A and B are shown apart, each in its own frame.
Chain A
Amino acid sequence: MNRRRFIRNTTYTAALGYLNTLNLPQIWDTKEILHLTLLHTNDVHSRIDPFPMDGGRNEGRAGVARRKALLDQIRSEGQGTLLLDAGDIFQGTPYFNMFHGELEMKLMTELGYDVGTIGNHDFDAGIDGFEKQLVHADFPMVISNYGLDNTILNGKTKDYKIWEYDGIKIGLYGLGIELDSLVPKELYAETQYNDPIKTALRYEQMLSQEMDCDYVIALSHLGYEYKGDKVSDVVIAKESSYTDLIIGGHTHTFMREPRIEKNKMGEPIVINQVGFGGIMLGRIDLYFERGSKRKAQKGTAITVK
């Protein structure tokens, strides 16, 4: 689609009328815009081939070879891209049972994934089984709230990751779900689960305030939202102050649009998740304006086309 026209045609709510003064199409037309496209999957669950033609709801959908063609097409637009996966790479088709995740990791490398995080099912072949496949992954696994010092993964994952694009810094931390009673202890071994809220607050503070990241992403396998007070992406969003975006997984949630929450400071934070199995690819385009002297304002407007 024609993005410019899309942006020109877009309207936003009257309540946020002050946005009008910013004249967004003009911003778009200047050369002082850095365009970065975030692409994301979650809970792909070893769905290497498309869903089988068995009369099921998803028959014929998804498939890694198709996702690659789609990625190539998006990347050919010429902007910077980051490809993220929010966990549960493993388990769900016989490919995993037979090859234990080797092909999943090789294909993700070939597709150019920039980062992944660890889901509960990524322990299904044991923490040793996961470690064994990391050799095929040419991208880092970022997980900030698992203590892995006493496990075979010690030193093989990252707490956070920063990318720089022409002066714009993107920071990312990873949040994993509580494993107790979800994964047998013998599979996750001595992995220590630390409080995701405390972890998120510490890492967003560090990335945003100490390391000067312009944009902070949480890559999460906590799940979108639960009844009761179980920690989820929505809970993290409300507690956070410096995170801009949460890319989630675990609950296999198909969202019609990203959810905008207000963070602790009353500012908008975006949550998104794209179902499971690679049926969808999430795409979020970020535009950073360089060196603007404009006084910062904040607000959100959404238009569904």
Chain B
Amino acid sequence: MNKKLWFIGLWLLLNSACQTTNYLATTEIDYEQVSPDTSAEIDEEIEAMISPYRKELDAVMNEVLGELEIDLIKERPECNMGNWLADMLYDEAKILNDGVLDFAVQNHGGLRVPSVAAGPITRGEVLEVMPFDNMVAIISANGKDVQSFLDHIASGRGWPISSQLKFKIKDKKAIDVEINGEPLDYSKTYHFALPDYIAGGGSGTSMLKGLTRKDYNVLLRDCFIQNIIKDTKAGHPQHPVKEGRIINLDHE
């Protein structure tokens, strides 16, 4: 067994809490962080406990859904992982909402892995990217409310958005906002898809509370899985790229 890393000794000589008893005039503490390395011994009984669960899991999770041609990276203000997910959400939510949808948004924090390597993409990998059981929500709001939401996204240095939406970040605000090639119109009503968690005010989106909202009982994750399978059937591999959807003009 390899043990490594830090060895820190630290002594604490305490009194106050201890004077009521005869004990503990002195406490010594010494400290160690232990990291089993990859060759460390494993406990066979625990392995045996995990094994049936793992078999059942693998049977489902190792299913290859499609082919990923490039590495997916999570970053700000824009990333190919985010573009990929937001576009798939847009496609599937538009179908759910009878063809009525202007754009889709996914919160940056909802992407739970920093990267996915190119190659066959499995159900398990999609699940690790998006483990939360978030459902599809659609909000209908005027351009002014959309602006407030995008300002919030700008103050968070950019979240994943679908290809229909484009803006720049300046002084932590969204400027030059375009939706489907048209400038944002404060008096127009827009419909956008997003995780129900965000629609409900999660991640600081209190400006969305009280807006007209429709909820679909469909997991975001299932949207992605379905969308990848459709592409694969049509002979399309996954190849998401960055394309300047959000440009951050602020100096970080």
Contacts and interface: CB of A to CB of B under 8 A. Distances in A.
Q: Do A and B come from one complex?
A: yes
Contact of A280 (B20, B35, B41): B35
A286 B45 contact: no
B213 to A, nearest CB: 14
B43 A65 contact: yes
Contact of B26 (A7, A99, A111, A294): A294
Contact of B128 (A93, A182, A286): A93
- Interface magnitude class on chain A: 35 or more
B234 interface: no
Contacts of A64: 46, 50
A213 B27 CA distance: 13
Contacts of A169: 21
Contact of A215 (B1, B10, B24, B61): B24
A55 B118 CA distance: 11
A156 to B, nearest CB: 23
Given A280-B35, A289-B26, A110 B10 contact: no
A50 B27 contact: no
B56 interface: yes
B33 to A, nearest CB: 5
A285 B17 contact: no
Contacts of B10: 257-258, 260, 270, 300-303
B120 to A, nearest CB: 12
Interface string A104-123: 00110011000000000000
Interface stretch (B82-90, B95-103, B156-164, B197-205): B197-205
A299 interface: yes
A282 B33 contact: yes
A285 B29 contact: yes
Contact of A94 (B31, B44, B128): B128
B28 interface: yes
Interface in B91-133: 112, 114-115, 117, 124, 127-128, 131-133
Interface size class of chain B, counting residues whose CB lies under 8 Å from the partner chain: 35 or more
Contact of A258 (B7, B8, B41, B56): B8
Contacts of B20: 209, 212
Contacts of B60: 94, 98
B186 interface: no
A294 B25 contact: yes
Given A98-B56, A184-B202, A287 B28 contact: yes
A106 B48 CA distance: 13
8 contacts: A66-B43, A94-B127, A97-B127, A258-B10, A265-B16, A283-B31, A288-B24, A292-B24
Interface of B: 1, 3, 5-38, 40-47, 49-50, 53-54, 56-57, 60-61, 112, 114-115, 117, 124, 127-128, 131-133, 196-197, 200-204, 206
Given A61-B37, A74-B34, A296-B19, 6 more contacts: A70-B34, A106-B49, A107-B50, A279-B35, A280-B34, A291-B23
